[in-house]
Amino acid sequence: MSRPRHGHVTALRPARLRPADIFRLGGTGLRTRPLRVFLSALGIAIGVAAIVAVVGISSSSRAEVDRRLDKLGTNLLRVAPGQTPDGRKSSLPEEAVPMIGRIGPVQQVAAVGAIEDAAVYRNEHVPVGRTSSVQVAAAGPRLLPAIGGHVDTGRWLESATEDYPAVVLGSRAARRLDAYTPGMRLWLGGKWFSLVGVLDPVPLAPEIDNSALVGWRAAQTYLHFDGHPSNIYVRARNSQVTAVRDVLAATANPAEPNEVMVSRPSDALAAREATESALTGLLLGLGGVALLVGGVGVGNTMIISVLERRPEIGLRRALGATGGQIRGQFVTESLLLSALGGLGGLVLGTVITAGYAYARGWPTEVPMWSGAAGIAVTLAIGGIAGLYPAVRAGRLAPTEALAGV
């Protein structure tokens, strides 16, 4: 204290630290212990990277599903036989396809017919029963456009081949039979059929992937096919999909509409996306736990830092630093440590997402909110973790802190 001319006693006020000064002091504490800072920030980075990567991979997966649906269309409907009242499997009438084709908004209609008594083998020497679970079915030339399918190698069943013993394999059926080369022969239904093509995977009709498809008339000629469709694929105008869906059962089987199942394949992809979203929630919880563990590591680092720097704290207090300034220094140091980990985790999570999406052929999509949320949560955890060590440092008396010097 000092006594001015007018006789009034005034108290000395401590120097005020600007935000830049506090920031510089907090950074100094980090620069003097680089290895410890790296290990503490790594714990935070792993938690943030887990959150960003989980959200990014999930978003990239949804973007891929949306991209595929945009490409394949959501206006595909599938008609299949249901069950009779006594629990037996029903059948669709042979006239179901032309009857459905008379519905005004219907743009395309095609069918396949399962041939239960026929099996396909790579050659005639394979023991009976070892069919590789490949389904034999009859199909017409309009099937591929209706289901959004494409030929990988060879060609599709055309008017020139659908009357003859020719077969097209789905992608999974080709793998199971190890048959990819057009022109090779397959033992199908006790007769030789020539392989004319192999299909790409068909996301909206996955049952086709595991099928050996022969021409509709060829199936009737060589395999005693009864002509009843087992699946009918209908493309309707986008604005009329719901209306067409409501009348499909009665149109396909007017006598027994309750024995007809109508589904929308794109709904199955949407349901899969919802399942992946539930798994994303679980993984986000695990990322949050990792982030919490990283916050505990930050708190532990700050407590050790306070214990090690007691002489520094005592010297600063003796030179006039207030308890609030000491607290501000250590809270800032904790926030900077957490921010380093958060930024590192954001970069790491983005790299993981991009690498995974590239490997799967997906578009890379990392929502901005995931990175912002990860940094915000990191700073909150860092602030809370550094609060107790900061308060403890601010309460140290200069004499107590300098006692060990």
**Which among 51-55, 132-136, 148-152 has the top mean pLDDT?**
148-152
Residue 266, pLDDT > 50, answer yes
Q: Say how far apart CA 311 and CA 397 lie, in whole Å.
A: 11
> For the CA atoms of the chain, what is the radius of gyration?
35
What does residue 89 show for φ and ψ, rounded to 5 degrees?
Answer: -75, 130
Q: What is the average pLDDT across 158-171?
A: 89
Contact 49, 349 (CB under 8 A): yes
pLDDT for the residue numbered 73: 67
**CA atoms 368, 372, 378, 381: torsion sign:** negative
Kindly state the tokens that stand for 127.
Answer: 């023991």
pLDDT for the residue numbered 306: 74
Q: Say how far apart CA 201 and CA 211 lie, in whole Å.
A: 11
Higher pLDDT, 87 or 252: 252
pLDDT for the residue numbered 271: 57
Residue 9, pLDDT > 80, answer no
Q: What is the average pLDDT across 23-47?
A: 79
Q: Crossing angle for the helix pair 19-31 and 323-360, nearest 10 degrees?
A: 70
pLDDT for the residue numbered 263: 84
Residue 220, pLDDT > 90, answer yes
The 10s digit of each residue's pLDDT in 188-214 is 999 999 999 999 999 888 899 999 999
Q: Find where tokens 């973790």 sit.
A: 385
Residue type, 95: E
Could you give the percent of the chain with pLDDT greater than 90? 31
Closest by Cα among 144, 148, 149 to 72? 148
pLDDT for the residue numbered 393: 74
Q: Place 30 in a pLDDT band, splitting at 50, 70 and 90.
A: confident
The residues, ordered by sequence, that sit 6+ positions from 172 with a Cβ below 8 Å of its Cβ are: 201, 209, 210
Higher pLDDT, 44 or 350: 350
**Alpha helical stretches, state H, 73-178:** 96-101, 143-147, 171-177
Coil/strand/helix, residue 18:
coil
Contact 252, 261 (CB under 8 A): no
**CA atoms 187, 193, 198, 204: torsion sign:** negative
Residue 152, pLDDT > 80, answer yes
pTM score of the predicted model: 0.58
**Which among 161-170, 266-275, 367-376, 377-386 has the top mean pLDDT?**
161-170
Q: Place 281 in a pLDDT band, splitting at 50, 70 and 90.
A: low
Q: What is the average pLDDT across 299-306?
A: 76
pLDDT for the residue numbered 70: 66
Secondary structure, 3-state, the chain: CECCCCCCCECCCCCCCCHHHHHHHHHHHHHCCHHHHHHHHHHHHHHHHHHHHHHHHHHHHHHHHHHHHHHHCCCEEEEEECECCCCCECCCCCCHHHHHHCCCCEEEEEEEEECCCCCEECCCCCCCCCCCCCEEEEECCCHHHHHCCCEEEECCCCCCCCCCCEEEECHHHHHHHCCCCCCCEEEECCEEEEEEEEECCCCCCHHHHHEEEEEHHHHHHHCCCCCCCCEEEEEECHHHHHHHHHHHHHHHCCCCHHHEEEECHHHHHHHHHHHHHHHHHHHHHHHHHHHHHHHHHHHHHHHHHHHHCHHHHHHHHHCCCCHHHHHHHHHHHHHHHHHHHHHHHHHHHHHHHHHHHHHHCCCCCCCHHHHHHHHHHHHHHHHHHHHHHHHHHHHCCHHHHHCCC
Q: What is the mean pLDDT of the chain?
A: 82
Q: Place 2 in a pLDDT band, splitting at 50, 70 and 90.
A: very low
Could you give the percent of the chain with pLDDT greater than 70? 85
CA 66 to mean position of chain CA atoms:
11
pLDDT for the residue numbered 203: 84
pLDDT for the residue numbered 1: 44
Q: Say how far apart CA 34 and CA 53 lie, in whole Å.
A: 27
Q: Place 176 in a pLDDT band, splitting at 50, 70 and 90.
A: very high
pLDDT for the residue numbered 199: 96
Q: Place 289 in a pLDDT band, splitting at 50, 70 and 90.
A: confident
Closest by Cα among 176, 178, 175, 154 to 166? 154
The 10s digit of each residue's pLDDT in 89-146 is 888 998 999 999 999 899 999 999 999 889 999 888 888 777 678 999 999 889 998 9
How crowded is residue 160: how many other Cβ atoms within 10 Å of its Cβ?
11
Q: What is the average pLDDT across 228-235?
A: 93
**Which among 5-9, 18-22, 61-65, 186-190 has the top mean pLDDT?**
186-190
Contact 37, 30 (CB under 8 A): yes
pLDDT for the residue numbered 102: 92
What does residue 351 show for φ and ψ, rounded to 5 degrees?
Answer: -65, -40
pLDDT for the residue numbered 398: 67
